């Protein structure tokens, strides 16, 4: 396929989850195409899969859909260069491999497993990297034909030179040179007639007209061999954009094996998808300014892949949580409330859900969250008075101690008992009247009351809001508990 437009592809292997690193590759791949009004293609690379993972492809579709990385071509949307699932392309690779054999760029190899094992063992004993010794490269035409006619199992290997060097350009890592003596004659077609992952990847990228190959830098070391394949075929080499690794800390890579977050895990942990996408966009790329909050649309406009960095990016949960908090704050009250509801259900009974002014609770907590999963703990105090120690009544700045706290609660109780109607404004007025009557600063009245109502050193909302939410009866009950505690425990 010959094309003038930018065509990129996201080529995940269906593993059953979306690793953060893969999602970042998908995002960059999408942005590079869209920044240039090009096409973003989805190809499922399932040929090398050890085992079939139920629903694994759906995870890919769902994630792309949810995050807005809509592909222009792919297994589910079609396109001119399909099929887009590698296992459905099985028949397309052998002829290409044979073409390379004809050109002398590849050869049949009939070596038995025993011979290959012996080669490997020998290399290991000599502490050198195992490498195929080109034994079958030297078979005569007759020998090859005889073996094929006898139906001997074979693989087809790439024929790499043993001297000189292979040079290739990566947009991020620059010019990379590799001594050809280091290149193994990798297998292109396996004994079962199917392509290896590496071979299928190159053939597909070419047949699908991919102009920019975007992927993790773990593929950087395979790229010289890929390059040799393009050259052997006489195909144009795509632009390579290898992305830096994402690290958990300065030494460890972020990996599923270490129990690090996949995209699904992050959502479960209470991160918003848009915040995650914004955050991972900055893992290895920056816009060249201090700006940090970007919608996907803004990223499309700003994303210049030349600004991708080659230094490893550290996945900083603190920063992500900050960014998530910003995204939570920016939600409309309705949207936030909608998201908060499922967390309220973890805390409040059905009856409580009906009585409580949940919208009001939402308005109090929306600006206080890093992640949504903090909600249950944060609203628990509206459900029941938490166990607490009376030491929280003592506040230096508010000038409160056990004695004056008790005095305030005892004075407030009868006034609040008679208060009608029970509203935020009426509670406020009551408190302010008490402040005036006692001739003290606001804090001296408000702190003991807030503490009695919340049972916590800090709370979403103050006296008026908590009082209104838990209701008159419960408020009076909590104040009585406070009085009792201060009398007996101080
Ligand atoms: N299928 C590979 C992976 O899931 C991607 C390789 C590539 O993009 O070239 O890691």
| Separation of alpha carbons 82 and 74, rounded Å | 8
pLDDT score recorded for residue 415: 97
Sorted by where each begins, the domain ranges of the chain are: 1-77+244-330, 89-243, 331-377, 390-489
pLDDT score recorded for residue 47: 81
Mean pLDDT, residues 162-174:
96
Q: How far is the CA of 53 from the centre of ligand 1 (A)?
A: 17
Q: What's the pLDDT band for 49 if we cut at 50, 70, 90?
A: low
pLDDT at 421 over 80: yes
Let me know: does 82 contact 75? Beta carbons within 8 Å: yes
- Provide CB contacts within 8 A for 181, sequence distance 6+: 162, 163
Q: What is the pLDDT of residues 333-361, one digit of tens each?
A: 999 999 999 999 999 999 999 999 999 99
Q: What's the pLDDT band for 198 if we cut at 50, 70, 90?
A: very high
Give ligand 1 pocket residues (Cβ under 6 A).
11-13, 45, 201, 215, 219
The residue whose CA has the least distance to atom 9 of ligand 1 is 215
Catalytic-labelled residue, pool 131, 190, 256, 472 = 256
pLDDT at 309 over 70: yes
pLDDT at 260 over 80: no
pLDDT score recorded for residue 254: 85
Mean pLDDT of the chain: 95
pLDDT at 264 over 80: yes
Query: Which of 12-26, 36-50, 232-246, 435-449 comes out lowest in average pLDDT?
Result: 36-50
The residue whose CA has the least distance to atom 10 of ligand 1 is 12
* 342 classed as catalytic: no
Task: Assess if CATH 1.10.10.350 describes domain 390-489.
Answer: yes
Residue with tokens 């390579």: 240
Pick from 319, 273, 317, 315: nearest CA to 295: 273
pLDDT score recorded for residue 54: 81
The CATH H-level superfamily of 89-243 is HUPs (3.40.50.620)
pLDDT score recorded for residue 51: 67
pLDDT at 2 over 80: no
The residue whose CA has the least distance to atom 2 of ligand 1 is 12
Give the whole-number percent of the chain exceeding pLDDT 70. Answer: 98
pLDDT at 285 over 80: yes
pLDDT score recorded for residue 490: 86
pLDDT at 19 over 70: yes
Looking from the CA of residue 10, the nearest atom of ligand 1 is 8
Q: What is the pLDDT of residues 428-439, one digit of tens each?
A: 999 999 999 999
| Separation of alpha carbons 1 and 295, rounded Å | 33
Mean pLDDT, residues 205-215:
98
pLDDT score recorded for residue 57: 93
Q: Do 89-243 and 1-77+244-330 fall under one CATH topology? A: yes
What six digits make up the tokens of 70?
Answer: 């809509």
| Separation of alpha carbons 337 and 187, rounded Å | 56
Helix (H) or strand (E) holding 339, with range, is helix 333-344
CATH topology of domain 1-77+244-330: Rossmann fold (3.40.50)
């Amino acid at each position: 396929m010959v094309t003038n437009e930018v065509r990129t592809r996201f080529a995940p292997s269906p593993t059953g989850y979306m690793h953060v690193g893969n999602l970042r590759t998908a995002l960059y791949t999408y942005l590079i195409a869209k920044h240039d009004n090009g096409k973003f293609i989805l190809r499922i690379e399932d040929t090398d899969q050890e085992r079939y993972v139920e629903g694994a492809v759906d995870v890919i579709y769902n994630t792309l859909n949810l995050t807005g990385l809509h592909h222009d071509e792919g297994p589910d949307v079609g396109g001119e260069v399909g099929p887009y699932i590698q296992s459905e392309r099985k028949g397309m690779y052998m002829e290409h491999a044979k073409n390379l054999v004809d050109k002398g760029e590849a050869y049949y190899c009939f070596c038995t497993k025993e011979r290959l094992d012996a080669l490997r063992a020998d290399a290991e004993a000599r502490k050198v990297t195992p490498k195929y010794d080109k034994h079958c490269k030297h078979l005569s035409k007759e020998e090859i034909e005889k073996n094929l006619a006898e139906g001997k199992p074979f693989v087809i290997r790439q024929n790499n030179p043993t001297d000189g060097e292979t040079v290739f350009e990566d947009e991020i890592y620059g010019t990379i040179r590799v001594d050809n003596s280091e290149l193994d004659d990798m297998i292109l077609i396996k004994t079962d007639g199917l392509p290896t992952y590496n071979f299928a990847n190159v053939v597909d990228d070419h047949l699908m007209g991919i102009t920019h190959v975007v992927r993790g830098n773990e593929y950087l070391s395979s790229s010289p061999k890929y390059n040799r394949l393009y050259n052997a075929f006489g195909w144009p080499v795509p632009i390579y954009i290898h992305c830096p690794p994402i690290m958990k800390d300065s030494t460890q890579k972020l990996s599923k094996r270490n129990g690090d977050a996949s995209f699904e895990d992050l959502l479960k942990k209470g991160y918003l998808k848009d915040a995650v996408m914004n955050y991972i966009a900055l893992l290895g790329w920056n816009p060249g300014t201090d700006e940090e909050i970007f919608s996907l649309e803004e990223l499309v406009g700003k994303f210049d892949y030349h600004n991708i960095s080659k230094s490893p990016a550290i996945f900083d949960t603190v920063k992500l949580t900050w960014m998530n908090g910003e995204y939570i704050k920016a939600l409309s009250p309705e949207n936030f409330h909608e998201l908060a509801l499922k967390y309220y259900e973890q805390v409040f009974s059905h009856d409580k859900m009906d009585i409580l002014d949940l919208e009001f609770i939402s308005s109090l907590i929306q600006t206080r969250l890093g992640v949504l999963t903090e909600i249950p703990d944060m609203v628990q105090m509206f459900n029941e008075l938490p166990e607490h120690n009376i030491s929280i009544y003592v506040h230096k700045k508010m000038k409160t101690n056990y004695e004056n706290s008790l005095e305030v609660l005892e004075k407030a109780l009868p006034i609040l008992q008679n208060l009608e109607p029970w509203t935020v404004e009426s509670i406020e007025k009551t408190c302010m009247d008490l402040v005036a009557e006692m001739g003290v600063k606001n804090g001296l009245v408000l702190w003991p009351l807030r503490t009695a109502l919340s049972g916590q050193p800090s709370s979403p909302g103050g006296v008026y809001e908590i009082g209104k939410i838990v209701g008159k009866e419960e408020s009076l009950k909590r104040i009585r508990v406070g009085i009792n505690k201060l009398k007996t425990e101080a």
